[in-house]
């Protein structure tokens, strides 16, 4: 274990009491917790690890990358890493975050199930806060690479938090795969067309595309481009996802997207896939007037050519976003909105003790990474 990453201390600093299981997945289990000395709630991600030797355990590079990045980030719209918990006897690692009541996926599903629109003021506030958070990341040479509603949390006070930095990368130049077998980044339905077509280099524009998909999903309460995933081989050409995008935005060509002919899967798409007819316009799909400010913002976030997309700084200045709105849990009449928390599952063991040193922080509204030479994290 790299002690420079986790700042291991031999003296336990805080004992957490587990209250219940929030959810689980291939990465491990997330619990809701508190402490005996405080009523503050925490989310503890218990990461699956494997033993190596008597006193070492091996965890995924994805988890180490998340720790390395989050311990230096400080922004109100980015999830805060409170602690890293090491238990060498149990061969485990757990990450402690602020507990956030809601995630955007559940809120969208709430409105979808009730067949009611998400308030316009709420959508504006969510997008404004997302632009702020992602702009902070990009200004500090970080590409998130997995923005989707499940990774966007919303506190009880309506503050948006960007979470799950396991696929994030530090970069100074357009990114290229770290190896020939690097895993595919970005969940399929939010994956930018340059990634789908096999781009070997990409930049922060892939995050803007994902934000555009999220923006559209807030408007229509369903995923904008729901392609069927091709699981036949490693990193295959996702033909159906491309078709879903091109039917709405039109098929690209070298005249509309200079350099597209050099992308790995472009020739394959041209050879094997019939050019999909543009069945409906983006404005029709998201039910917006083509002259509206919301549509102008959306269409410029969903440009097929990544060089033509807005960046987050430009998005923050867009007329649609307007004034700052730090509380997204209000309706169009500025009345508070209330959503139910994720129900907790019962657990057996109820305590966990830290053995790491917490990092110091500056103000909660934002901060800068340490000034040092940037490089892609491997």
- Checking if the pLDDT of 56 tops 60, the result is no
- Checking if the pLDDT of 325 tops 80, the result is yes
pLDDT per residue as tens digits for the range 128-158: 999 999 999 999 999 999 999 999 999 999 9
Helix runs in 83-168, H state only: 104-113, 120-139
CATH level 2 (architecture), domain 3-100+343-353: 2-Layer Sandwich (3.30)
Domain chopping of the chain, boundaries:
3-100+343-353, 102-316
Q: Which two tokens stand for residue 139?
A: 């200004």
Residues above pLDDT 70, as percent of the chain: 77
More confident site: 94 or 26: 94
Q: Which residue has the tokens 């994902």?
A: 210
For residue 285, give Cα distances in angstroms to 116, 220, 221, 321: 17, 8, 11, 21
pLDDT per residue as tens digits for the range 226-264: 999 888 766 678 989 999 999 999 999 999 999 999 998
pLDDT at 98: 92
Band of residue 88 on the pLDDT scale cut at 50, 70, 90? low
- DSSP code, position 74: -
- DSSP code, position 202: B
Residues in the chain: 378
Phi first, then psi, for residue 249 (nearest 5°) are: -100, -10
H or E element that contains 32: strand 28-35
Q: How many Å apart are CA 318 and CA 314, to the nearest integer?
A: 6
Query: Residues 107-111: what's their mean pLDDT?
Result: 97
Average pLDDT for the chain: 83
Q: Which two tokens stand for residue 51?
A: 């033993």
Q: How many Å apart are CA 366 and CA 78, to the nearest integer?
A: 9
- Do 102-316 and 3-100+343-353 have the same topology in CATH? no
pLDDT per residue as tens digits for the range 280-302: 899 999 999 999 999 999 999 99
Q: Which of 146, 164, 203, 207 is catalytic?
A: 146
Band of residue 367 on the pLDDT scale cut at 50, 70, 90? low
146 noted as active-site residue: yes
CB 283 within 8 A of CB 293: no
Q: Which two tokens stand for residue 93?
A: 């690692």
Band of residue 55 on the pLDDT scale cut at 50, 70, 90? very low
Say which residues have a Cβ less than 8 Å from residue 158's Cβ, sequence separation at least 6.
125, 326, 327, 328, 329, 330
Q: Which two tokens stand for residue 166?
A: 């396991």
Q: How many Å apart are CA 355 and CA 335, to the nearest integer?
A: 43
Q: Which two tokens stand for residue 283?
A: 């404005």
- DSSP percent split of the chain into helix, strand, coil, nearest 5: 30, 20, 50
Q: Which residue has the tokens 């110091």?
A: 360
Cα 115 to the center of its chain, rounded Å: 26
User: CATH for 102-316, among 3.30.420.40, 3.40.50.300, 1.10.10.10, 1.10.510.10?
Assistant: 1.10.510.10
CB 366 within 8 A of CB 74: yes
pLDDT at 62: 76
């Amino acid at each position: 274990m790299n002690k420079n990453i986790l700042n291991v201390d031999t003296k336990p600093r805080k004992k957490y009491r587990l209250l219940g299981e929030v959810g689980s997945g291939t990465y491990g289990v997330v619990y809701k917790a508190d402490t005996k000395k405080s009523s503050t709630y925490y989310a503890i991600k218990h990461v699956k690890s494997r033993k190596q030797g008597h006193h070492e355990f091996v965890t995924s590079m994805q988890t180490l990358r998340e720790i390395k990045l989050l311990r230096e980030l400080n922004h109100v719209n980015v999830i805060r890493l409170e602690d890293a918990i090491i238990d060498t006897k149990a061969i485990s690692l757990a990450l402690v975050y602020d507990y956030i009541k809601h995630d955007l996926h559940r809120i969208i599903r709430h409105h979808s199930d009730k067949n009611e629109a998400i308030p316009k003021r709420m959508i504006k506030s969510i997008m404004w806060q997302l632009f702020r958070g992602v702009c902070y990341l990009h200004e500090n040479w970080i590409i998130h690479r997995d923005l989707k509603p499940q990774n966007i949390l919303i506190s009880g006070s309506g503050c948006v938090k960007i979470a799950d930095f396991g696929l994030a990368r530090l970069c100074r130049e357009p990114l290229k795969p770290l190896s020939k077998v690097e895993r595919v980044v970005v969940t399929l339905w939010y994956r930018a067309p340059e990634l789908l077509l096999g781009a070997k280099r990409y930049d922060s524009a892939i995050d803007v595309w994902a934000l555009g998909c999220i923006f559209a999903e807030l408007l229509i309460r369903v995923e904008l481009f729901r392609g069927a995933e091709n699981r036949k081989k490693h990193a295959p050409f996702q033909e159906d996802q491309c078709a879903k995008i091109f039917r709405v935005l039109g098929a690209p060509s070298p005249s509309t997207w200079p350099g597209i002919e050099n992308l790995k899967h472009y020739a394959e798409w041209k050879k094997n896939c019939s050019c999909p007819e543009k069945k409906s316009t983006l404005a029709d799909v998201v039910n917006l007037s083509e002259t509206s400010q919301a549509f102008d913002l959306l269409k410029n976030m969903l440009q097929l050519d990544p060089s033509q997309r807005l960046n987050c700084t430009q998005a923050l200045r867009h007329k649609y976003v307007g004034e700052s709105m730090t509380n997204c849990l209000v309706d169009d009449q500025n009345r508070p909105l209330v959503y139910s928390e994720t129900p907790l599952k019962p657990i057996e063991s109820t305590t966990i003790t830290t053995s790491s040193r917490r990092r110091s922080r500056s103000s909660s509204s934002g901060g800068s990474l340490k000034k040092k030479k940037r490089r892609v994290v491997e």
